[in-house]
Amino acid sequence: MPILINQYSFIIVSIASLILVGIFIWRIFNPALAISAIFVAMLILSVVFISLRRDEATLSSLEDFNLALESGPLLIDFYSDY
């Protein structure tokens, strides 16, 4: 079975980790600590997700793209944050 990594991998792994850590802390410690730990983990994961996203495209118009094509060899990288 091949392991598929796509644009949703970070979100899926984050949610699964939050659920597992939440259940573990809920059973070992008290529920208030579990809720606090999940909240802190969600905050950390959100900051990581936002900081790892790419900025806006470097070529914002069709004219800029055509100029880049005419300037020589070009590497085109299609990327989606979602």
Model confidence over 52-74: pLDDT tens digits? 776 666 767 888 878 878 887 87
Model confidence over 30-53: pLDDT tens digits? 889 889 989 999 999 889 888 877
Quote the pLDDT of residue 75. 75
When pLDDT is cut at 50, 70 and 90, the band that residue 27 belongs to is very high
Token pair in block for residue 42: 């969600």
* 56, 64 Cβ separation under 8 angstroms: no
C-alpha closest to that of 64 among 26, 56, 8, 48: 56
H helix runs in 1-82, sequence order: 9-28, 31-52, 62-70
Token pair in block for residue 44: 């950390």
C-alpha closest to that of 81 among 18, 11, 17, 29: 11
Quote the pLDDT of residue 82. 52
Q: What is the pTM of this model?
A: 0.58
Helix pair angle (31-52, 9-28), 10° resolution: 160
